[in-house]
A = this chain, B = another copy of it.
Amino acid sequence: MKSKLISENGAEKTYAIILDTGDEVKKSLLDFAHEKNLTASNFKAIGAFERAMFGYFDFSKKEYEKIPVNEQVEVLSLIGDFALDEKGAVQLHAHCVVGKRDGTAHGGHLLEAFVRPTLEIILTESPAGLKKTFRPEFGIVLIDLDAAG
């Protein structure tokens, strides 16, 4: 993973982040978030994965049902954000669309994905923090604009 600050307007910073073959996307993005102390970012990306694991949230089980993608796919869209949870830990939320060899599109909540050969991410960190609060009715954390910033 390499990154470059490509634009800076006051406290708003935009980075290009380039992942390479073998990089795991969630780990790489969280490493980047820790390195830069991100608190309120949003990003979009394209590239390709060697394989990926997506999730579909099952409300009755309050957990993600796994959707394995065990083949090389084009990453048609990866959109996501970072916010801080109640303990101050940065949380990644990202959803992905991939295209298979036959052109059909598939996707879900990003659980894990391995890059091959590249993933090009444009990420903007905003000056105002975003917070996430645990929602017991769903069993997950969601962005909460009422939480003290």
Contact = CB atoms under 8 A, between A and B. Distances in A.
Interface in A1-32: 2-7, 9-12, 14, 16, 18
A25 to B, nearest CB: 15
A134 interface: no
A89 interface: no
Contact of A105 (B45, B80, B107): B107
A7 B12 contact: yes
The SS class assigned to the A binding surface is strand
Interface string A125-144: 01110100001011010111
Contacts of A56: 74, 99-101, 103
Contacts of A116: 59
B103 A67 contact: yes
B76 A96 contact: yes
B105 A106 contact: yes
Contact of A77 (B54, B79, B81): B79
A102 interface: yes
B97 A108 contact: no
Counting from the closest, the 3 A-B pairs by CB-CB distance are A105-B105, A67-B103, A6-B126
Interface of A: 2-7, 9-12, 14, 16, 18, 40, 42, 44-46, 48, 54-57, 59, 65, 67, 69, 72, 74-77, 79-81, 93-97, 99-109, 116-118, 120, 122, 124, 126-128, 130, 135, 137-138, 140, 142-146, 149
